[in-house]
Chains A and B, each alone.
Chain A
């Protein structure tokens, strides 16, 4: 079923066309990766879904309702400045709930405890972000959106600044979190391997202005469960190379 839909969306910044007419339908409870060359406009498309940018033409809908601006149903996770340095880990996770008056104090506390456990940072609940690792900070950012009650997570190269091992672990964890919490995730990256490993579905974009050039249902090829072993399978390499060729060809057209 279509949940988040982009209907003939375009975006121009002044004279520069960033997104050329794109239509997309994203199913609920799926992890969709927006993949494309750097600066192609995929981030802008995702930001418009967050309500942080407005389409020049076209409409984006969540559950049938047109998106007019940012709200807590669609939470953002950025690569840097992702957690508030003046709040502890648990303060960060609780942050979004201060704008919800439908939750009692004990419900808030329960939710904080739940998401602390989900991201495995119970022992760091009182730590400030600059005392924990970059990977932990990204986990905190994810938990904060979930605790606030986001249905959709919009992630803008969230693991881009992490070392390879941490990044791999977080990719595995993100898929687990997505399965447990049943959230819809749009994940923007330019890293092909990350895209193939993470995605239920990859939308491959052209160089700027962004246009969908390929829509790949990864679950049909790699299945729904991904372990680190899946990373070494024949199917994984085959798909990765295929996507890599497509994206290389695309990157060459702009040179």
Chain B
């Protein structure tokens, strides 16, 4: 085991990889614990991980942490699904027909570079401080990115596949459903997974600005009283949700595209 991981460009078994990953995390946590306990840094800046875990437990048992997580997840998924439901057909049409692509591409490219936080005030003027604002901001952050990714996935469908289908008697519609969608499938699902991750980034911004629920709100209110362990616990929860979702989507990807 030692040899293979020390070899230049060597390979390691899945078990070894996993063990090394866990070991590294444990080492980092232990170092952190020691540094924090010795109070090299004031505890309100760097609480030890044990305190963070304790805070996590208190928050889960007495402060509705699960409910806040659920609210946040719901916001992310609603906004993400709306963005995906719009971006997939529009992106496909953009790269398939120039009449759709040529007018939309410059506009989307421009909006894509607008920072989401800069649009928070406008969003509040338009939608108030309710759920609409949060969904809008999340949608804003994902739709314009995703639509270009989808268009690119479609563009990268090998032209040979399209021409083969035509010479086998398919019509444009059938080429779209039977060939283009199938061919872009793996990349599309990958891009959806990545964009979902970005959605979580914007969630915190949306919830910090205008919310009385959700993980962003939890983190932001804990900060007000300098409850650093709670702040860290909130961040950890977002990280865990992200990690689990990502792994689930990767597993789904493997199941859906066994031929790869």
B160 and A80: CB pair below 8 A? yes
For B179, list chain A residues within 8 Å (CB): 84
A130 and B259: CB pair below 8 A? yes
Can you name the residue of chain B whose Cβ is closest to the Cβ of A128? B259
Taking CB atoms and an 8 Å cut-off, the chain A residues in 75-94 that contact chain B are 75-76, 78, 80-82, 84-87
**In the assembly, what is the distance between CA of A71 and CA of B163, in Å?**
10
**In the assembly, what is the distance between CA of A96 and CA of B166, in Å?**
9
B167 and A78: CB pair below 8 A? no
B169 and A76: CB pair below 8 A? no
**In the assembly, what is the distance between CA of A99 and CA of B163, in Å?**
15
Taking CB atoms and an 8 Å cut-off, the chain B residues in 135-179 that contact chain A are 158, 160-161, 163-164, 166-171, 174, 178-179
Chain B proximity of A229: nearest CB distance (Å)? 35
Chain B proximity of A224: nearest CB distance (Å)? 28
Chain B proximity of A74: nearest CB distance (Å)? 6
Chain A proximity of B180: nearest CB distance (Å)? 11
Q: Contact string, B61-84, partner A, CB cutoff 8 A, digits 1/0?
A: 000000000000000000000000
Given contacts A78-B160, A84-B182, A86-B183, contact A130 B169 (CB under 8 A): no
Given contacts A71-B169, A99-B174, A148-B169, contact A86 B164 (CB under 8 A): no
Can you name the residue of chain A whose Cβ is closest to the Cβ of B186? A86
Can you name the residue of chain A whose Cβ is closest to the Cβ of B169? A72
Chain A proximity of B142: nearest CB distance (Å)? 27
Interface size on B, residues (CB 8 A): 21
Can you name the residue of chain B whose Cβ is closest to the Cβ of A148? B168
For A81, list chain B residues within 8 Å (CB): 158, 160-161
For A148, list chain B residues within 8 Å (CB): 168-169
Q: Which of A86, A96, A129: most chain B CB closer than 10 A?
A: A86
The reply to whether the CB of A52 lies closer than 8 angstroms to some CB of chain B is: yes
The reply to whether the CB of B125 lies closer than 8 angstroms to some CB of chain A is: no
For A86, list chain B residues within 8 Å (CB): 182-183, 185, 257, 259
Can you name the residue of chain A whose Cβ is closest to the Cβ of B182? A86
The reply to whether the CB of A98 lies closer than 8 angstroms to some CB of chain B is: yes
Chain A proximity of B105: nearest CB distance (Å)? 23
Chain A proximity of B158: nearest CB distance (Å)? 4
Taking CB atoms and an 8 Å cut-off, the chain A residues in 41-74 that contact chain B are 50-52, 69-72, 74
The reply to whether the CB of B1 lies closer than 8 angstroms to some CB of chain A is: no
The reply to whether the CB of B260 lies closer than 8 angstroms to some CB of chain A is: yes
For B167, list chain A residues within 8 Å (CB): 50-52, 70-72, 74-76, 145, 150, 154
A85 and B259: CB pair below 8 A? yes
Taking CB atoms and an 8 Å cut-off, the chain B residues in 38-52 that contact chain A are none
For A150, list chain B residues within 8 Å (CB): 167
Given contacts A98-B178, A128-B259, A130-B259, contact A84 B161 (CB under 8 A): yes
**In the assembly, what is the distance between CA of A100 and CA of B236, in Å?**
56
- Which of B169, B171, B178, B259 makes the CB contact (< 8 A) with A100? B169
B160 and A145: CB pair below 8 A? no
- Which of B158, B168, B258 makes the CB contact (< 8 A) with A144? B168
**In the assembly, what is the distance between CA of A29 and CA of B259, in Å?**
37
**In the assembly, what is the distance between CA of A86 and CA of B256, in Å?**
10
- Which of A87, A96, A154 makes the CB contact (< 8 A) with B169? A96
A72 and B185: CB pair below 8 A? no
Taking CB atoms and an 8 Å cut-off, the chain B residues in 205-255 that contact chain A are none
B168 and A145: CB pair below 8 A? yes
For A52, list chain B residues within 8 Å (CB): 163, 166-167
**In the assembly, what is the distance between CA of A108 and CA of B191, in Å?**
37
Can you name the residue of chain B whose Cβ is closest to the Cβ of A70? B166
Chain A proximity of B160: nearest CB distance (Å)? 4
B185 and A99: CB pair below 8 A? no
B168 and A95: CB pair below 8 A? yes
**In the assembly, what is the distance between CA of A129 and CA of B169, in Å?**
22
For B166, list chain A residues within 8 Å (CB): 51-52, 69-70
Chain B proximity of A133: nearest CB distance (Å)? 16
Chain B proximity of A111: nearest CB distance (Å)? 13
Additional pairs, 12, CB under 8 Å, beyond known A78-B163, A80-B160 = A69-B166, A72-B167, A72-B169, A76-B167, A80-B158, A85-B183, A87-B259, A96-B169, A99-B168, A99-B169, A148-B169, A150-B167
Binding site for B on A (CB under 8 A): 50-52, 69-72, 74-76, 78, 80-82, 84-87, 95-96, 98-100, 128-130, 141, 144-145, 148, 150, 154
7 A–B contacts, CB within 8 A, in A order: A50-B163, A81-B160, A84-B161, A84-B183, A99-B169, A99-B170, A148-B169
Q: Which 10 A-B pairs have the closest CB atoms?
A: A96-B168, A72-B169, A81-B160, A70-B166, A99-B169, A128-B259, A81-B158, A76-B167, A78-B160, A148-B168
